[in-house]
Amino acid sequence: MAKIFFKRNEEVFDIDMPEGTKVVHAAYKLRLPEVPANCRGKCQCGTCHVHVDPKWIDKIEPMEVDTMELFLLKRQKSYDPELSRLSCQIRIKEEHDGLTLSLVDDNIPRNS
């Protein structure tokens, strides 16, 4: 088990998740509107975009170069080449206990 934290400004949400599950499932269980995961975690839509806390970026599996993940992330308005990841591409391990991710609001509809 690993406790995963999601930050929305000063608000923090946490959940214990078993090893081997994807971070996107943690966001889904918490019903976080910033992570609608329209493709249900299949790396096809980019709607599970999060920013990994800088102190955790080197502790998770690195993003592979020239992948669909990078292709989708580069089209997100909050894309940060150092911190952006799709939560469907991060598998939870026990050593990820305390993993902290910042929510981005790219997927929240705006009222005009």
Domains of the chain plus CATH, in order, are: 2-103 (3.10.20.30)
What is the three-class DSSP state of 54?
Answer: coil
Is the per-residue pLDDT at 4 higher than 70? Answer: yes
Q: What is the pTM of this model?
A: 0.91
Q: Is 77 exposed, middle or buried (0-12, 13-18, 19+ CB in 10 A)?
A: exposed
What is the three-class DSSP state of 14?
Answer: strand
| DSSP state string for 31-50 | T-TT---TTSSSSSS-TTEE
11-15, 19-23, 80-84, 105-109: which has the minimum mean pLDDT?
A: 105-109
Q: What is the dihedral of CA 30, 36, 39, 42, to 10 degrees?
A: -50
